[in-house]
Structure 1
Amino acid sequence: MYEKTFPNKRFKHTVQFLKSHIETTSVILDLGIKNPLSDMLKSEGYDVTNTTGIDLDLDTSEIENSNANVVTAFEIFEHLLSPFTVLKSIKADKLVASIPLKLWFASAYRSKTDMRDRHYHEFEDWQFDWLLEKSGWRIIASEKWTNPTRKIGLRPLLRWFTPRYYIVYAERISE
């Protein structure tokens, strides 16, 4: 159904992971504007609503006012100055989130043309786990996968063996 090229390989892994943990009857709030991945989730039968593009570092009202029972956050936390604040504001009891992992052989992503498109954080898996636990989430399942390219060089070779993406399914810890 999905090609094995970027970003479709990432999308395929994400959809498979979500389907293995979240029922299609769930109501999902996807952090971030409508995108091809949220459209894929809808085509898989999920009821998905996206945030409208507000700056989640400054305004979490769309998260706080949502009636969704699942929140998804696919490659968004690395763009936020304060992902802790966003994670604490989630009212849903289930979370599926993915992040690009910090790679020792590549510097953090920074767009040269879009000042908003930067990674303030690139996590190692244990750092993201700690952030989730500290903000009130218990990790139930997680996976990692690579992002190989067809380019020649040392870094492209390392991308065949070094995981680039990390996804977790977590549930809210009862207070």
Structure 2
Amino acid sequence: MYENSFPNKRFKHTVQFLKRHVQTTENLLDLGVENPLSAILKAEGYTVKNTSGLDLDIDTSEIENSSANVVTAFEIFEHLLSPFTVLQSIKADKLVASIPLKLWFASAYRSKIDMRDRHYHEFEDWQFDWLLEKSGWKIIASEKWTNPTKKIGIRPLLRLFTPRYYIVYAERIKT
């Protein structure tokens, strides 16, 4: 089902990580509109509801009104101006989130076609951990993986061994 190519390698890692930490009996609220990964999760037996496409920097009502047991956020937080606000608005006790890591040898992603498709943040792992902890989450497990390309050059060579993606499973800190 998954090849070793983008985005399939990323999807494979994401699904394997999710299966280790979240039961298929738990309801998921996936931040972001329905996408190919949502369909894969449904095929894997998860009940997934996506947010409708509202600007989560401005309107977190879908998150606040959700009764989901788990919130998932796969490559979403880097697109938000204020991921802290979104993280605080989550009512679920469990979070699985992944981000692209900041690479010292590549600029932050910025689409020249879609002005909304830009990375306002590209985190180092410790920065994302700190954001989660400061917004009320305890990291239980995390994992990184690379994203090699079949191109020739220095950056493709560096991508062979430099982690590009970071995923965490976190639980809400009870106060």
Where on the TM-score scale, by shorter chain, does this alignment land: which range?
A: over 0.9
Q: Gapped runs of 5+ residues in structure 1? A: none
Correspondence list, 1:63-142, <5 A: 63-142=63-142
Q: Which residue of 1 aligns with 2:171?
A: 171
Secondary structure in 2 matching 1:164: strand
Amino acid at match of 2:135: S
1:111-170, Cα deviation, whole Å (9 max, x unpaired): 001110000000000000000000000000000000000000000000001000000000
Q: Distance in 1 between matches of 2:116 and 2:85?
A: 19
Q: Which residue of 2 aligns with 1:144?
A: 144
1:76-134, Cα deviation, whole Å (9 max, x unpaired): 00000000000000000000000000000000000001110000000000000000000
Amino acid at match of 2:86: V
How much has 1:30 moved relative to structure 2? 0.1
Q: Distance in 2 between matches of 1:22 and 1:129?
A: 20
Secondary structure in 2 matching 1:98: strand
Q: Which residue of 2 aligns with 1:24?
A: 24
How much has 1:3 moved relative to structure 2? 1.0
Secondary structure in 1 matching 2:98: strand
Q: Distance in 2 between matches of 1:118 and 1:5?
A: 22
The number of residue pairs the alignment matches comes to 175
Amino acid at match of 2:126: W
Moved over 4 A (4+): none
Amino acid at match of 1:119: H
Amino acid at match of 1:54: L
Secondary structure in 1 matching 2:163: coil
Q: Which residue of 2 aligns with 1:11?
A: 11
1:11-36, Cα deviation, whole Å (9 max, x unpaired): 00000000000000000000000000
Q: Percent identity?
A: 85
Q: Which residue of 1 aligns with 2:40?
A: 40
TM-score (norm 1): 1.00
Q: Gapped runs of 5+ residues in structure 2? A: none
